[in-house]
Amino acid sequence: MKYTGWPDPGDLVVGRVDEIEDFGVFVDLLEYTDRRGLVHISEVASGWIKNIRDHVNTGETVVCKVLDVDESAQQIDLSVKDVNDHQRSEKIQEWKNEQKADKWMTLAFGEDVSDEQYGTVANELLSVFGTLYEGFEQAAIHGEDTLSETDLTDEEITTIVDTARENVSVPYVTVTGYVHLRSSNPNGVDDVRAALESAEGNGEVSDEVELGVTYVGSPEYRIKVRAPSYKVAEDELTETVERARAVIEERGGTAEFHRERQTEAE
- Residue-wise pLDDT for 69-109, tens only, equals 999 999 999 999 999 999 999 999 999 999 999 999 999 99
Domain that holds residue 102: 86-167
Q: Decide which of 23 and 260 is more confident.
A: 23
C-alpha separations of 224 from 36, 161, 179, 199 in Å? 51, 21, 11, 11
DSSP 8-state secondary structure symbol assigned to residue 64: E
Between CA 239 and CA 245 the distance in angstroms is 10
Distances (CA, A) of 143 to 81, 139, 175, 176, 237: 42, 5, 11, 13, 16
Question: According to the model, what pLDDT value does residue 202 have?
Answer: 65
So what's the pLDDT on residue 261? 36
Q: What is the pTM of this model?
A: 0.64
Residues 66 and 120 in one domain: no
Give per-residue pLDDT as tens, 49-73: 989 999 999 999 999 999 999 999 9
Higher pLDDT, 258 or 23: 23
Q: 142-146, 246-250, 251-255: which has the minimum mean pLDDT?
A: 142-146
Are 199 and 214 within one domain?
Answer: yes
Final residue before a domain boundary, out of 119, 140, 167: 167
Of 56, 83, 110, the residue that ends a domain is 83
Residue 231 has what pLDDT? 81
pLDDT at 256 over 80: yes
CA gap 265, 140 in Å, rounded: 10
Q: Are residues 178 and 259 part of one domain?
A: yes
Residue 174 near residue 260 (C-beta atoms within 8 A)? no
